Structure formats: C-alpha cells, structure tokens
C-alpha cells in the first residue's frame, strides 16, 4: 500500500525532535489522559477546578506548569451538582479575579445518563463536547461514567479508557479523570500510581498521574501536597498548595510559599 510509512535510521537522524504539545507542560499533554487520585475527602475536585481555572485563564497551572494560551474546559460533574460547582468557582474567583474563565469554563452537572461504555451514554458526552468544544475535559469522578468491573483490565481498557482516548483523538482534547486510591497496605503505600483503585490499565494507559496527599497544617495554613508520575518524562517535584478559606465553608487554592502565615 502506497500510504504505508516507514523510517530508516538515517530518516530518524534527520527528523526534527518532537516539539511536544501540551495544555500545561509537561503534566497535561495535548490529547493525553491525566489521572488525579486521592483518598476520600482530599479535595480532588478542588484541585481539578483549580487546574481548570488556570487553563481557562491561560495562566501556568499551579503557577508552575507552562500554558501557552487560554483553553476551553468542560467539567463533567457527577457528584456535586450545579450549585456546588457555582459556589466553588465563585469562591475561586474571589481570590483569583480572572478575566478569561467566564466564557472558557463550562460544566455539565449531574447527568448520570452520560456513560463511556454505552452508545447512548457516549453520544450524550459527545453532544456536550460538540456544544462547548473544549481543549480539556474533566470527568469527576470516573466511577459514575461506566458500569464495568473496576478490577478487570480488559473491561476497563476496552470500555472506559479506550473511549476516553477516542474522544481525545476525535476532539483534539486532553482528558483529566478523577479517581480514588485503594487503602494503603504492604505493597500499596504513599501517593503513587500503584495505589489507584481497580485495574492497572488505568495507570498504564494514562500519561500523567497526580496523587494528592491529605491536607496538613503549618501554623494557620492548611496545605495540600501533589505528587506526580509521568509516563515519558522526568516527574516534577511535589507541589504544595495552600487552602485559602472564603467564608466559613468555601476555599480556593494557591501555591504555598515559605513564610506564609
């Protein structure tokens, strides 16, 4: 077939290096899959919304990871509902005071008919993507987007991860997936991909893993620590974020700096 392409070693020597394309370099590759995992109640959704806000504003994610332009983000929320997303995003705007996110961020709240593993459910996801045309989609949490056996590599790959990869390819977007950790044990400890709940394919097929260490306090400051693993690049050092209260129940996140009180 005339369209079959091969590269000799001489061709590879002459080929320019892959420039790499990222929504946020190097943690969110264009058309990549990012897993955000943590124990229950460890602010997974807040971290995801912080990433979304940075991307929508065209600002470095966490103030560290380069973003070349403002991105459109679609947040598929299956837990909180529209009013909780409203509260969280408005609290974030209290501290961030951005200009671009208003039109670039959108959410689809609590549509449990959206599924990655059924034709009808996938069609509903695609309808939302067609409407907002995001550069990045966030699925929060993964468990509500499928009905597969979570510990089956074949089911999770074929019916969950492969459809996400297909959406990334067809829409030219990256996907951020929110998931849970297993309980720590003798062979699963710390904040690394081995603790992801369920089948190993969830990490094997992902490009980036972000593990959230439960919050701790330093003086009056509550902190989160994010740990990274990247499939094909050197992992960045952990990121420490401050949890900044807004009123009695809400908050936003910002990069922690030494001496902060």
Instruction: Identify the CATH number of the domain in which residue 183 sits.
Output: 3.40.50.300
Residue 3 lies in a domain: no
| Model pLDDT, residue 120 | 98
**Of 141, 168, 145, 167, nearest in space to 156 by CA:** 145
Residue 11 lies in a domain: no
Q: What is the mean pLDDT of each run of 10 residues along the chain (261 residues)?
A: 84 78 94 93 94 96 95 96 93 83 93 97 98 98 96 95 97 96 59 81 91 79 92 90 88 77 51
Residue 171 lies in a domain: yes
Residue 182 lies in a domain: yes
- Whole-angstrom Cα distance, residue 101 to residue 73? 9
Residue 222 lies in a domain: yes
| Model pLDDT, residue 25 | 94
| Model pLDDT, residue 216 | 75
The residue segments making up the domain with residue 64 are 20-255
Count of domains for the chain:
1
Residue 157 lies in a domain: yes
Residue whose structure tokens are 């593993």? 117
- Whole-angstrom Cα distance, residue 243 to residue 226? 13
The pTM assigned to this predicted structure is 0.90
Residue 260 lies in a domain: no
């Amino acid at each position: 077939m005339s369209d079959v392409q091969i590269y000799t070693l001489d061709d590879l020597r002459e080929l320019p290096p892959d420039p790499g394309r990222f929504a946020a370099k190097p943690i969110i590759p264009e058309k990549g899959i990012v897993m955000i995992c943590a124990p229950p109640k460890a602010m997974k959704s807040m971290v995801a919304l912080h990433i979304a806000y940075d991307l929508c504003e065209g600002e470095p994610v966490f103030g560290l990871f380069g973003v070349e332009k403002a991105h459109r983000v679609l947040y598929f929320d299956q837990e909180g509902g529209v009013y909780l997303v409203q509260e969280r995003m408005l609290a974030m705007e209290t501290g961030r005071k951005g200009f671009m996110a208003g039109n670039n961020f959108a959410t689809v709240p609590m549509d449990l008919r959206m599924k990655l593993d059924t034709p009808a459910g996938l069609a509903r996801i695609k309808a939302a993507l067609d409407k907002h045309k995001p550069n990045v989609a966030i699925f929060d949490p993964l468990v509500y987007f499928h009905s597969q056996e979570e510990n089956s590599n074949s089911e999770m790959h074929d019916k969950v991860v492969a459809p996400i990869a297909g959406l990334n390819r067809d829409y030219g977007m990256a996907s951020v997936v929110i998931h849970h950790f297993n309980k720590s044990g003798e062979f699963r400890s710390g904040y690394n991909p081995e603790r992801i709940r369920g089948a190993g394919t969830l990490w094997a097929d992902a490009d980036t893993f972000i593990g959230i260490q439960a919050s701790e306090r330093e003086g009056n400051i509550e902190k989160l620590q994010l740990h990274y693993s990247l499939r094909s690049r050197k992992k960045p050092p952990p990121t420490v974020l401050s949890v900044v209260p807004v009123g009695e129940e809400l908050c936003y996140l910002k990069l922690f700096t030494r001496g902060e009180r």
